[in-house]
Structure 1
Amino acid sequence: MYDPAAITRIGEGLIAATLPRPEWTHAAHVAAAAHVIAARRDLDAEADMPGLIRRYNEACGAANSDTMGYHHSITIASIAAVRAGLTLAPSGDLATQLAWLMTGMLGDKYWPERFWRHDTLFSVTARRGWVAPDLVPLPFSVRT
C-alpha cells in the first residue's frame, strides 16, 4: 500500500491537479479522500472534492461528461465510507489506517454496486448529483 509520504503526494497532487494520470487508481482515490479528511482541515471533503476531482480530470485531458469523468454519487459515498472507516480503523498513522481500510469493502473498486443497481448508479442523475442507494442502505451516514 502507500506510505505516509505517498498519501500526501497523492492528496496534494489531486489538489494541485499535478498527479500523473496513470497514478489516479482506485487506491489513489481512497488515499486522496483519506488525506483530505485527515490532513487538510482547511478543506471540507464533501464540499471541495467534487471540484478538485473535476479540475484534476480537466487538467489531465479527461472529460467530465454524462458518461465519464466525475461521478457525484460515487464520490460522496466514497468520502462517507472513508470518513466512517477512519473512525473505526486501528490507531496508527494514516498509512496504517488506509491499509486497513483497503482490506475491507473499500479495497474493491466495485463496492458501490453492492448498494445501487447498475442502471441507477451509472445514470446521468447519479453522475451529476446525489442519488441514494436503491438495493440496500449504506452502512454509514452520508453528508450531501
Structure 2
Amino acid sequence: MIVQYPDISDIKSLVDKFVSKTLPEEKWTHFAHLTVGLWFISNYGLQETSVLMPAYIADYNESLGKENTDFSGYHETITQFWIWLLDRYWKQVKEEKTLLHAVNDLTNSPYGDPSNFLKFYSRELIFSVEARRKFLKPDIHHFDFQLIL
C-alpha cells in the first residue's frame, strides 16, 4: 500500500492550504481533491460539503489565475459525482477506519480511480457545457456504489 499521509496533521495541512488558497497548483492533484473532499465529508456531511466544495474549488481556481468558464475550471457534475462517491465510501468505512486510513486506502482502491464517473456518464454528456455548469443525472447508469468495484 502506498501511504500518502503519515499523519492526520498532513491531511489537515493540505485542507488548510487549499481553503486559504496557498496550496501550490502542482499539489492540487486528483488524489488531493479526494483527500480534501473526504475531509469535508467527514467533518461537514454530504449536504454541507455539496455546497462548500464547489465554492472552494472555484475560488481556488481563480486564485491560480484560472477562469471558471464553459470549457475549463470548475465542473459541477464531476464535483458532485465525487462528493456522492466519497460520502458513500466514508459511510462504508468510517466505523472501521480512521480518516487517515480511509484517505490512504483510497490510493489503492477502485474508489479513487479518476475515470469512475465514466461508469455512469457518457463522454458526450459529462464533457458538455451544461454538465460543467449544473449537476446532470447520469445517462449510462444511475448512481450505484457497487458499480465502482
User: TM-score, with normalisation over the residues of structure 1?
Assistant: 0.88
Unaligned runs of 5+ in 2: none
- Deviation at 1:92? 2.7
Q: Give the letter for the 1:54 counterpart.
A: A
CA root-mean-square deviation = 1.7
Q: Identify the residue that residue 21 of structure 2 maps to in structure 1.
A: 17
Q: Does 1:2 align with 2:5?
A: yes
Unaligned runs of 5+ in 1: none
Alignment of 1:97-136 (within 5 A): 97-136=102-141
Alignment of 1:1-144 (within 5 A): 1-3=4-6, 4-40=8-44, 44-89=48-93, 91-140=96-145
The separation in 2 between residues aligned to 1:136 and 1:28, in whole angstroms, is 27
The separation in 2 between residues aligned to 1:57 and 1:105, in whole angstroms, is 27
Change (3 A) 1:22 1:52: same
The separation in 2 between residues aligned to 1:86 and 1:94, in whole angstroms, is 8
Percentage identity across aligned positions?
Answer: 29
| Contact in 2 for aligned 1:10/1:19 (Cα 8 Å) | yes
| Contact in 2 for aligned 1:26/1:109 (Cα 8 Å) | yes
Greater relative contact order, per chain length (Cα 8 Å cut-off, separation 6+): 2
The separation in 2 between residues aligned to 1:55 and 1:134, in whole angstroms, is 29
The separation in 2 between residues aligned to 1:71 and 1:10, in whole angstroms, is 21
| Contact in 2 for aligned 1:11/1:32 (Cα 8 Å) | yes
Change (3 A) 1:40 1:5: farther
User: TM-score, with normalisation over the residues of structure 2?
Assistant: 0.85
